[in-house]
Amino acid sequence: MNGGPSGFHNAPVTKAFVITSALFTVVFGIQGRSSKLGLSYQDIFEKFRIWKLIMSTFSFSSTPELMFGLYLLYYFRVFERQIGSNKYSVFIFFSGSVSLLLEVFLLSLLKDTTTNLLTSGPYGLIFASFIPFYLDIPVSTRFRVFGVNFSDKSFIYLAGVQLLLSSWKRSIFPGVCGIIAGSLYRLNILGIRKAKFPEFVASFFSRLSFPSFSNSPPPAPGRNIVGTISPNTGRRAEASLYLKFAQ
């Protein structure tokens, strides 16, 4: 299984998000501030460091988290290709905002004085994306390793588990908040799945002059998110995924 053609072809929003997240993480890492971007009760309710709500949404707190996080964000570009950049922008905004609100609510509920109770990073978007990944992306290959059954989707799940457990409860809480946000989007709360931004918002990302990571040509006929299959089957699978995720 793959996410379609390599690079960010037809995924400008994902490209902008990945580059922004990488740059923020590197910059704060050089300054030695990455580990200080996590959210805590004191930051939000006592010191009112609202800026950390925004920074913590983009910047990972460590290099391993950055690697696994960007890998997953890069793979999930398949959803932008299927539903379009506009609706995917809505998905990013909704999942990130809801996840962030849930994290703030959790901080107010626990009132834990531990420094940086919640780790930083786009956990909301990443783990919200596992909902359509689980429900809409079909398994194309199954295999066994030492008697244990695996599928081509197992590698994505393993990367997700690694990221979820990377900082123990500090990363588990944001991950769970992301899963809840993705579930609410799936349930079409307030008709969110039909919402769209003004066209200029999505087109803005298409005009960004970030250098491409790959100049790969468009995929050959028969290649799509479910592997190498016939063109007719590929079109049916893509249409089915669009209907499930976008409507």
Does 13 score more than 80 pLDDT?
A: yes
Q: Model-level pTM? A: 0.80
Q: Does 57 score more than 80 pLDDT?
A: yes
**Sorting pLDDT into bands at 50, 70 and 90, what band is 155?**
very high
Looking at residue 200, what is its pLDDT?
Answer: 72
Per-residue model confidence (pLDDT) at position 213: 42
Q: Is the pLDDT of residue 114 over 70?
A: no
Q: Three-class SS string for the chain?
A: CCCCCCCCCCCHHHHHHHHHHHHHHHHHHHCCCHHHCCECHHHHHHCCCCHHHHHHHHCCCCHHHHHHHHHHHHHCHHHHHHHCHHHHHHHHHHHHHHHHHHHHHHHHHHCCCCCCCECCCCHHHHHHCHHHHHHHCCCCCEEEECCEEEECCHHHHHHHHHHHCCCCHHHHHHHHHHHHHHHHHHCCHHHHHHCCCCHHHHHHHHCCCCCCCCCCCCCCCCEECCEECCHHHHHHHHHHHHHHHHC
Q: Model confidence over 157-190: pLDDT tens digits?
A: 999 999 999 988 889 999 999 999 999 999 999 8
Name all domains of the chain by residue range, CATH numbers in brackets.
12-208 (1.20.1540.10)
Lowest mean pLDDT among 134-138, 153-157, 191-195, 232-236: 232-236
**pLDDT-derived band of residue 216, with 50, 70 and 90 as boundaries?**
very low
